[in-house]
Amino acid sequence: MSAALRPAAEPPVLEVRDLDVAFETRRGRAHAVQGVSFTLHRGERLGLVGESGSGKTTTALALMRLLRPPGRILGGEAWLGELDLLAAKPAALRQARFARIALVPQGAMNSLNPVLTCGTQIEDLLQAHGVPAGGAATQTRIARLLDGVGLASEIARLYPHQLSGGMKQRVCIALAMALGPSVILADEPTSALDVIVQKQVLRTLIAAQKTLGAGMVLVGHDMGLMAQFAHTVGVMYAGTLVEVGPVRALFADPRHPYTRMLIASLPRFDRRRHFVGIPGMAPSLFNPPPGCPFHPRCPQATARCAAEIPQEQILPDGRRVRCHYAQEPALAA
């Protein structure tokens, strides 16, 4: 469910249903992602936000089928048009990756090949998807790609180590855009960058997304960033999507206690020495608590919360909340 950006008639570019991922380790099974469902439309920016262990990165990796053992997709569907990413054969996946769905990975600066120039790496990607090698046409295309991310065409001749962190990140964004995918997954693309560069890279990301008209999923842990970046925000906790909805409605009136407390814990510039944290620790994924995963830390938990896993409640504005008391507006803090 997303904000009314496009008429409901237009089909989503990505539709994920009940994604389930687990890690089978010696210590047992860690259920990293449970029943995650969301839809993404053309031109929409979805922010998947959560803390460490919430399962947000695992979700992105699962969608790209880049999970390694002991990670395993247990179930679910991810429809990219007519292709189910989770069930696709390797050949179909290879065709789809970067051509229809691209990833800007975490620590993207370290995923550039240090012995190839940036231009060569983009060219390699194009070649792998059938674009003829060499020639002025390819070079022009590369130059245009780099220009689209705010880099001069000379960058194509440089090696990754000659570039700053922000510039490397932008090369990675250019790579993700190269084949004009309809969905771009960005996994914490700015976490390792300084704040000023972070803003520049986000600006680049938004501009790139608009040029392509692609749908974008930004995975991150910074709620403040999501407020400024996303059209729709999905809050993840302990592997489940606890609240998903249009960004303004979510920030104005958060219905899940975790969302509420996460927003409240953001340091603000209107009040000093006002610290609001969330007590307790994230639950163990090997041995989750019964009922709602958040109930041990929730100030409004009741006996029902400890016993019964909350179903998804759908609010009038289209939001989905996994809380027994989602229908009631926030109690005075």
Partner 1 sequence: MLLEADSVEVAFGGGISGGARRLALRGVSLALPADQPTILAVVGESGSGKTTLTRLLLGLLCPTAGTVRYLGQDIARMDRAAHAAFRREVQAVFQDPFAAYNPFYPVDRILILPARQFGLVATRAAAYALAEASLVQVGLRPAETLGRYPHQLSGGQRQRLMVARALMLRPRVIVADEPVSMVDASLRATILQNLYGLTVDHRISLLYVTHDLATAYQVADRVAVMQNGVVVEEGDVEAVIRRPQHPYTQALVAAIPPPDPTVPWGVDDEAA
Binding region for partner 1 (CB under 8 A): 51-52, 194-196, 198-199, 202-203, 206, 221-225, 227-229, 231, 247-248, 251, 261-263, 265-269, 272-279, 281-282
Taking the C-alpha atoms of residue 154 and residue 190, their distance in angstroms, rounded to an integer, is 24
Q: Which is nearer to partner 1, 222 or 308 (CB)?
A: 222
Q: Which is nearer to partner 1, 156 or 177 (CB)?
A: 177
Residue keyed to tokens 């699962």: 62
Residue 10 DSSP symbol: S
Taking the C-alpha atoms of residue 155 and residue 309, their distance in angstroms, rounded to an integer, is 52
Query: CB count, 10 Å around CB of 195?
Result: 8
Q: How far is the CB of 137 from partner 1 (least distance, A)?
A: 30
Q: Which is nearer to partner 1, 42 or 221 (CB)?
A: 221
Query: CB count, 10 Å around CB of 276?
Result: 14
Of 174, 171, 147, nearest in space to 159 by CA: 171
Q: How far is the CB of 273 from partner 1 (least distance, A)?
A: 6
Kindly report the CA angle at 122 between 118 and 127, in degrees rounded to 5? 140
Q: How far is the CB of 45 from partner 1 (least distance, A)?
A: 8
Q: How far is the CB of 21 from partner 1 (least distance, A)?
A: 21
Q: Which is nearer to partner 1, 181 or 246 (CB)?
A: 246
Scored b (16 or more CB within 10 A) or e, 149-158 reads: bbbeeebbeb
The H or E element containing residue 324 is none
Q: Which is nearer to partner 1, 277 or 329 (CB)?
A: 277
Q: How far is the CB of 211 from partner 1 (least distance, A)?
A: 12
Ranges of H-type helices in 28-111: 56-63, 90-96
Q: Would you give the distance in Å from CA 225 to the centre of its chain?
A: 12
Contacts of 307 (CB under 8 A, 6+ apart): 290, 291
Q: How far is the CB of 250 from partner 1 (least distance, A)?
A: 8
Q: Is the four-CA dihedral 266, 223, 188, 166 of positive or negative sign?
A: negative
Q: Which is nearer to partner 1, 37 or 200 (CB)?
A: 200
Length of the chain in residues, anyone? 333
Q: Which is nearer to partner 1, 69 or 277 (CB)?
A: 277
Q: How far is the CB of 163 from partner 1 (least distance, A)?
A: 15
Residue keyed to tokens 């009040």: 271
Q: Which is nearer to partner 1, 28 or 75 (CB)?
A: 28
Taking the C-alpha atoms of residue 112 and residue 147, their distance in angstroms, rounded to an integer, is 19
Q: What is the largest CA-CA distance in the chain?
A: 69
Q: How far is the CB of 106 from partner 1 (least distance, A)?
A: 15
